[in-house]
Amino acid sequence: MDIIIRNEEQKDFRNVEYLTREAFWNLYVPGCDEHYLVHKMRDHQDFVKELDFVAVLNDQIIGNIMYTKSYLINSQNIRIETLTFGPLCILPKFQRLGVGTKLINHTVNIAKNNKIPAIIIYGDPHNYVKHGFKNGIDYNISDPYGKYPYGLLVLKLDDNSLNDDKWTIHCSDVFNINPKEAEEFDKNFPFKEKKWQYSQELFSMTCRAILQK
């Protein structure tokens, strides 16, 4: 596929919100709120506009990746600035064709050139280990509660940036979505039925899974 990777433009906003809704609808919960997150993220102080990219095929936007600022703090209160991506979304009919890989590789190279020490996300390891991500426990990186969630994943970009100390990850508060606001925002889109599917139970298990040292 002859895919073009370029920065998202204002004229793309509604198309990106639509494809995000299509990608996540009923995947993790009945319905979804990721399209509202995308909408909200663009005006947030932690949004990294330079790393907001779309994948275009034959003039159609089929994928998108967005980044926000995050940071690590260790026991000596040393702070390291990091990045977090998400949502990463691909239109369903183009999933598993390497579009997400192109978006990840493109933005990871930019992050490396900008001397970012690590990219840290919450996601399904099945999707990201192939890109070099490891669990936070492998780098002594926990969530703010001192736990090591199964889905806390780290892509280390600088071998000299993290020592053997214990770190905690702090992501942007933009991810704290108000359910009522998300529900109201969804009314701007065509009706889609909310329903249960087995991927929601898998997601619930992943969110509750904690690794032990």
Which residues does residue 47 pair with via DSSP β-bridges, in sequence order?
68
What digits encode the pLDDT tens for the residues 61-93? 999 999 999 999 998 999 999 999 999 999 999
> CB within 8 A of 71, min separation 6: which ones?
79, 80, 81, 82, 169, 170
**Does pLDDT of 106 surpass 80?**
yes
pLDDT range class, residue 3, cuts 50, 70, 90: very high
Determine the longest span between alpha carbons in the chain, in angstroms: 51
Question: Residue 100 is encoded by which pair of tokens?
Answer: 């997400």
Helix (H, G, I), strand (E, B) or coil at 153: strand
CA 165 – CA 73 distance, rounded (Å): 10
Whole-structure pTM over 0.75, yes or no?
yes
pLDDT range class, residue 161, cuts 50, 70, 90: confident
What digits encode the pLDDT tens for the residues 176-196? 999 999 999 999 999 999 999
Residue among 6, 67, 15 at smallest CA distance from 42: 67
| Model pLDDT, residue 1 | 80
